[in-house]
Amino acid sequence: MNMNCKMIVLLLLLVGCSSVKEAIRESQRIVFFGDSITQLGERPGGYVALIRDSLLRGTAIEGSAVINAGISGNKVTDLQRRLSKDVLEKQPTIVVVYIGINDVWHSALPNLRGTPKDTFALVLREIIQSIRTTGAKVVLCTPSVIGEKKDGFNPQDQSLNDYADVGRSVAAEIGIPLCDLRAAFSAYERQHNPANAEKGILTTDRVHLNKECNRLVAAEIMRTLSVMK
């Protein structure tokens, strides 16, 4: 990250979002629901840990107010199967859904199956509607990257763009906040990846987030949470 970007991210994380902090003070709960990217976000410096630290700084609320429900390898259908146990039973107030990488990626890997785009859209809607029937709010994140070359140079870029479009359409149709990580990552790569490297700018392995990227994702999600009604 350049210095200006680092300063913006650090300020967002250090100051936090007053509206979200107020929600936490009122004993509300945020669940992060996704795959290995979310699961790894629990590690020190991970985006879930950063958000938890930022929201709870200066409060007496325990860290359990921010819950990580990420499991490696999950696709949208896996989220649907464990929705009740891992999310709804936690009685969340806000659920951040970050899914789609494996739905696309697994289509290109041997002995694995991805998720057809129409199925992805259908199940995503059902998950969101099930959460909303409990009174909880939902933030939907678009899938980010499978390879860090500039948009169009990675084999699955078009598929990721298509699935990101599904997320954008579902969010607009249902009327929920969208955290457009696909757009944020693509813009960052265009500016900061002049050598068109496959990894190492935002990811460790073409998919999973490095330290700088965890800060970026935390800041993007915090920004989205801050404008929720």
The residue among 37, 110, 116 whose CA lies nearest residue 76 is 116
The span from the CA of 216 to the CA of 191, in Å, is 14
> Which residues of the chain have a pLDDT value below 70?
1-27, 58-64, 229
Tokens of 71: 């499991």
pLDDT at 9: 45
| 46-103 confidence digits (pLDDT tens) | 999 999 998 887 665 566 689 999 999 999 999 999 999 999 999 999 999 999 999 9
Tokens found for residue 33? 């629901």
Q: How far is CA 130 from CA 52, 81, 83, 136, in A?
A: 25, 12, 9, 9
User: Tokens 């409990």, residue?
Assistant: 134
pLDDT value of residue 59: 62
β-bridge partners, 66? 30
What's the pLDDT at 20?
A: 61
- Phi-psi category of residue 144: left, alpha or beta, with phi > 0 → left and psi -120 to 50 → alpha: alpha
- Ramachandran area for residue 73 (φ above 0: left; ψ -120 to 50: alpha; else beta): left
The answer to whether residues 183 and 220 touch, using CB atoms and an 8 Å cutoff, is no
Q: Please, what are the domains in the chain?
A: 3-226 (3.40.50.1110)
CB atoms within 10 A of CB 145: 26
Assign 48 to helix, strand or coil.
helix
